Amino acid sequence: MIELRRIRANEGQRLRVLRLAALADAPDAFGTRLDEAESRPLASWDERARRLATSTTEMNLVAADGDDWCGLAGGYVPPEAPDTVEFVSLWVNPSYRRSGIATGLLEGVREWARERGAARVRLYVTETNLAARRLYVRAGFRETGYTEPLPSNPTLRELEMALDL
């Protein structure tokens, strides 16, 4: 049974392991490069988990299969758009894909956005990530027409997608 829950304050090192696995598996799906994440001090991961566990403007969900973490996703409120939640960092371990975890994580962040009164959820997806794009369309997201270079690999473009709540 997969449990979807908000990260806890004492889980910084577990977050680091999962995030590094995500970046190694899908480097063109994220704005951060693996070497950047690996170089962060261990204490910064602990601080990040503490912040994400309690903040009202950012959060991280994890998918856990018993003691094994198999997915993550997050959301935050961009300072320039306080009525919006930005959906970020969706990743599911390849052995758990196509099991509904990604949809569950997406819905969890969407529910958090609703609870805080957001008017919309937006995200950026690499244009070549067709599976993710299909997932987001099935969830009701639509492309806005805005694109930008992927920060971790500027030869690729990210598409902005949004969902009104």
The structural domains of the chain, ordered by start, are: 2-164 (3.40.630.30)
pLDDT value, residue 140: 97
Strands lying side by side in the sheet with 58-65: 2-6, 58-65, 68-76, 84-92, 120-126, 153-164, 142-150
pLDDT value, residue 109: 98
pLDDT value, residue 156: 95
pLDDT value, residue 10: 98
**Spans in the chain with pLDDT lower than 70:** none
Given a contact cutoff of 8 angstroms between Cβ atoms, the answer to whether 165 and 120 are in contact is yes
pLDDT value, residue 69: 97
SS3 content of the chain, % helix, strand, coil (to 5): 40, 35, 25
Segment 46-56, tens digit of pLDDT: 999 999 999 99
- CA 138 – CA 131 distance, rounded (Å): 11
pLDDT value, residue 139: 96
